[in-house]
Structure 1
Amino acid sequence: MTDTRSVKNKTVFMSGGSRGIGLAIALRAARDGANVVIAAKTDTPHPKLPGTIHTAVSEIEAAGGQGLAVLCDIREEAQVAAAVEQAVSRFGGIDICVNNASAIALTGTLDTEMKRYDLMNQVNARGTFLVSKLCLPHLLNADNPHILNLSPPLDMSAKWFKNHVAYSMAKYGMSLCTLGMAAEFEEQGVAVNSLWPLTAIDTAAVRNVLGGDALASISRSPEIVADAAHAVLTRPARQCTGQFLIDELVLMEEGVTDFAPYAPAGTGRLAADFFVPDWVFEKVSTKVMRGAFG
C-alpha cells in the first residue's frame, strides 16, 4: 500500500501494546515518526508471553518513533490518569487513543467464574470507557483526533453470544463506546471508530488460548490490522467516525488488492474471526472458513 498520509509527530496513547496487534499498530505509527505511549501491565517478562512495555518501546524507537513505557492497569482509574499525565508531560498532548487492551475467556455461563467475568468487563468495556474519558480532554485540543477501539461490529446475532456470553458482552461493551462517543463528540470533531479483523490473527491469544499452532497456521499476521488502523487514523476525523470497520474492507478502500503478504505461505482458506457479520463475506475476495469461532 502506497500512502502519503502520516502520523508523524502525532502522539498515540495505546492501552496494552506489549505484543500482538497493539504492538503492530504501534510499530506502524513509529515508522512514520510518531510518539507512542505503551500503557500496559507487562513490566517484566512473562513466562508464556513475549514482550514487555520496555521491549515494545525499544522496538518503537528502532522503527523511528519515540516511545514511552508506562506501567498501567487500565482497571485502576488513578493509574490511567497518571499514565495520561505522563504522556502529556512528555509529548505535549495526545492526538490518538487506541483501546487495544483486552481480556478473553471463551466459557459458557455455568463455567464462567465471576472473577473472570469481572476481569473481562473491567478491562474491555470499563477500561475502554475510562481510557477514552481521560484522553478526551487532550484529544479535543488535537488537530485530527481519533479514538480507535479494537472491537467488533454490533451484529446482534445470538450465535455470537450463546457459547461465551460474558466475553461477548465485554467486547460489545467496547463497541457501544464507539457508537455513543462518536455521536457525543461528532460536533467537536473527534473521530471514534471500531476496527476488527476479517480473519483470525496470529497472536499469543490465538496460539495459547484459542487454537494453538493449527489455528495460527490459518491466521493472518497482525500487520494487516496495523495497516488498516494506520489508514483509519490518517483519515480526516470529521469524515470518518461512528464506523464499525473490517481490516480487509478498509484496505480495499485504500486500493490494496493483494493480501497474500499477510497470510502464511501456502495458505488456502483462512479462519474467519469471531463477530464478523454475514454481509462482510459478500464484499471480500478472501476464502475464509466460517464457523471456526462461535
Structure 2
Amino acid sequence: MNLQGKTLFITGASRGIGLAIARRAAADGANIVIVAKTAEPDPRLPGTIYSAAEEIRAAGGHPLPLQVDIRDEAQVLDAVQRAVLTFGGIDILVNNASAISLTDTEHTPMKRYDLMNGINARGTFLCTQACLPELKKSAAAGRNAHVLTLSPPLSMKTHWFAPHTAYTMAKYGMSMCTLGHAGELRKYGIAVNSLWPRTAIATAALQMIPGVDLGACRKPEILADAAWLVLTSDAAEARNSGNFHIDDELLAAHGQTDLERYSVTPGTTRFVPDFFVD
C-alpha cells in the first residue's frame, strides 16, 4: 500500500515537519493540499505555501497551496471545498500546525495563550470536523481514510505542566482530539492516531528557541517516514487506530533500527530530548 492518488490535507505544510510529510507523500504521487498562513517570505521562518508547492511538485506530487488561518472556521471550510473541487475529495488529514511558547503562567500573555489554544487544540478539532464528511466518503469507498495529529502521548505528570502550563494544555488538547476521535470515528473505518518525536527535530521554528543545539537534533524526515507508515496502514484494523506513536519506536517495529541518516550531525549519540516522552 502507498499514497499514490491519495489526497492529503496537511496543516502547517509550508515548512518543517509538515513539509517533510508532504514531500514523502509526494514521492508516491499523492495530491497535497498545503494549508498554512505564510504566503510571503519571512526572513525569520523560511518557506511559503508557494515554495512548498514547488518542492512537492519536484518530488512527484500534485500541490494545491492555500493560505489559511486554521483558527478561522470560514477559511477552513473554504479550503476543504477547494480541495474537493480540485482533487475530488480528501482521504487523509494531517493536523500538524502548532504554536509554542515555553513560558510559565506569570510570563504567558493571554494573547499568546489564545494563540496556542486556537491553533493547537481548536484548530485540530476544527480541521477534523471540517474534513470529516470527505473522510467518511473516502472510508466508505475503501480508500483507507486516516487522521494523523502531531501531538504527544498523554502523560498527566506535574513535570510536563509546571514549566509551561499553557503550552502543555494546548498540545495535550490535540492529543485529546486523537483519544476522542479514534473512538468516535472507528465506526466509519477512519483511523485516528498521534505521532511524536523522541528527540528534538531541527526545524526553522526550533531555531527561534534560545539555547537549543540543532546539531544534537534529528531531521524532520524521521517523522515523515514514520507518518508514511501510519498513513499506509490498514485503517479498518482496530489496532491501527487510537495510538500515540513515538517515531523511533514505530520505525523499529517495522525493522528500521539504523537511524543514523536522520541525525543532523553524523555520529551523534546524545540527542536533545523532546518534551512529553517519559
Deviation of 1:47 after TM superposition, in Å, equals 2.0
Aligned to 1:251: 251
What is the distance in 2 between the residues matched to 1:275 and 1:204?
Answer: 21
Residue 103 of structure 2 corresponds to residue 107 of structure 1: yes
1:67 paired residue number: 63
Query: What is the one-letter code of the residue matched to 1:118?
Result: D
Per-residue Cα deviation, 1:96-152 (whole angstroms, up to 9, x for no partner): 000000000000000000000000000000000000000010000112100000000
Give the AA of the match of 1:132: T
* SS of residue in 2 equivalent to 1:235: coil
Q: Contact 2:194/2:243 (CA < 8 Å) preserved in 1?
A: yes
- Residue 37 (1) aligns with residue 41 (2): no
1:33-90 Cα deviation digits (max 9, x unpaired): 0000001100000121110000001100000000000010000000000000010100
Alignment of 1:198-217 (within 5 A): 198-212=198-212, 215-217=213-215
Pick from 223, 226, 229: which aligns with 1:228?
Answer: 226
TM-score of the aligned structures, taking structure 2 as reference length: 0.96
Q: d(CA) in 2 for partners of 1:217 and 1:92?
A: 42
Offset of 1:210 from its aligned partner?
Answer: 4.8
Alignment match, 1:237: 235
Tell me which residue corresponds to 1:270: 271
- Is the contact between residue 12 and residue 97 of structure 2 (CA under 8 Å) also seen in structure 1? yes
How far residue 157 of structure 1 moved from its aligned partner, in angstroms, is 0.8
2:165 aligned residue: 165
Contact preservation (8 Å) 2:146, 2:191: yes
The corresponding residue for 1:193 is 193
Where does the alignment leave 5 or more consecutive residues of structure 2 unmatched?
none
- Structure-2 separation of matches of 1:188 and 1:268: 43
Give the superposition deviation at 1:185.
Answer: 0.7
What secondary structure is seen at the aligned counterpart in 1 of 2:137?
Answer: coil
Cα distance, 1:268 vs. partner?
A: 2.6
> For residue 182 of structure 2, what is the aligned residue in structure 1?
182
Give the distance between the partners of 2:209 and 2:273, measured in 1 at CA: 16
Distance 1:131 1:108, change over 3 A: same
- Kindly provide the amino acid, as one letter, of the partner of residue 93 in structure 1: G
Percent identity over the alignment is: 58
Structure 2 counterpart of 1:33, one-letter code: G
Aligned ranges 1:131-150 → 2 under 5 Å: 131-142=127-138, 143-150=143-150
For 1:257 and 1:104, the matched residues in 2 are separated by 30
Contact 2:260 2:267 in 1 (8 A): no
State the Cα deviation string for residues 221-266 of structure 1 (Å, max 9, x = none).
Answer: 0000000000000000122101100000111111102000101213
Counterparts of residues 3-18 of structure 1 (less than 5 Å): 5-18=1-14
Report what 2:260 is aligned to. Answer: 260
Structure 1 unaligned regions, length at least 5: 278-294
Tell me how large the CA RMSD over aligned residues is: 0.8
Aligned length: 271
SS at match of 2:236: helix
Deviation at 1:187, TM superposition (A): 1.2
Q: Structure 2 CA distance, aligned partners of 1:169 and 1:211?
A: 23
Q: Distance in 2 between matches of 1:120 and 1:254?
A: 34
Q: Tell me, in whole angstroms, the C-alpha distance in 1 between the residues paired with 2:210 and 2:272.
A: 12
| Superposition deviation, residue 276 in structure 1 | 0.5
How far apart are 1:211 and its partner, in Å?
3.1
Classify the secondary structure of the residue corresponding to 1:141.
helix
Q: Hey, which bits of structure 1, 4+ residues long, moved more than 6 A?
A: none
| Bigger shift: residues 249-258 or 203-212 | 203-212
Residue in 2 that maps onto 1:282: none
- 2-structure distance, mates of 1:271, 1:92: 42
Question: Secondary structure, in 3 states, of the residue corresponding to 2:216?
Answer: coil
2:118 maps to what in 1?
122
In structure 1, how many angstroms separate the alpha carbons of the residues matched to 2:56 and 2:210? Answer: 28
Amino acid at match of 1:95: D
